[in-house]
Amino acid sequence: MYPSEYRYTKDHEWIKPDGDSASIGITDYAQGELGDVVFVELPKIGTQIKAGASFGTIESVKAVSELFAPVSGEVTETNPALHDAPETVNKDPHGAAWLIKIKMSDPKEPGALMDAAAYQAYISEKAKETSA
């Protein structure tokens, strides 16, 4: 379910590092909580994003939520497919529905984030909190 080569944040974003570059998206857990995604608002190419700060919004039928940057860097690409098919976020959150690609300020930054096992433990705790 949660690819082992990705890193994860408590805000439910994933990052897939590739040398200096990285792709960023939201997790399967996040898309499930949001419900049907109807719009994704992404930054312009060249925008500097900052770890922990908002870089865009994602709108579902229920709410509009912030997208938080897992690491700092410069936006090099945004996913053009999401404009016409935002529901891709629900169908393939870890693959086709990547949101942005960035050039990282510090390629070591993702190392500090949760790995797949830690993230899965984190969300199962969340699930317990909700059911408690």
Partner 1 sequence: MRYLPKSPSERQEMLAAIGANSIEDLFRSIPEKFRLRTPLALPGPLSEVEIIQYFQARAAENARGFTSFLGAGAYQHLRSVVADSLVQRGEFLTSYTPYQAEISQGTLAAIFEFQTLMCQLAGQEVANASMYDGSTALTEAVLMAQRLTGRQFVLVARSVHPEYRQVLATYARNLGIQIKEIGFTESGQLDRSALTKDDLARAAAVVVQSPNFFGTLEEIPALADAAHAESALLITSITETVSLGVVRPPAEADIVALEAQSFGVSPSYGGPYVGVIATREKFMRQMPGRLAGQTTDAEGRRGFVLTLATREQHIRREKATSNICTNEALYALVATIHLCLLGKEGLREMATQNLAKSRFAAGELEKIPGVRRAFSGPFFNEFTLEFPRSVKMINSALLREKIIGPLALGTHYPELTKRGVLCVTETVPRAEIERLAAAVRKVLETPV
Q: Mask: binding to partner 1, 84-113, rule CB under 8 A, as x and -?
A: ------------------------------
Cβ-in-10-Å burial (0-12, 13-18, 19+) of 18 comes to: exposed
Give me the least distance between CB of 90 and partner 1, in Å please: 16
Give me the least distance between CB of 91 and partner 1, in Å please: 20
Interaction between residue 78 and partner 1 (CB under 8 A): no
Q: Which is nearer to partner 1, 17 or 56 (CB)?
A: 56
Q: By CB under 8 A, name the one of 66, 111, 112, 127 that touches partner 1.
A: 66
Q: By CB under 8 A, name the one of 45, 53, 63, 112 that touches partner 1.
A: 63
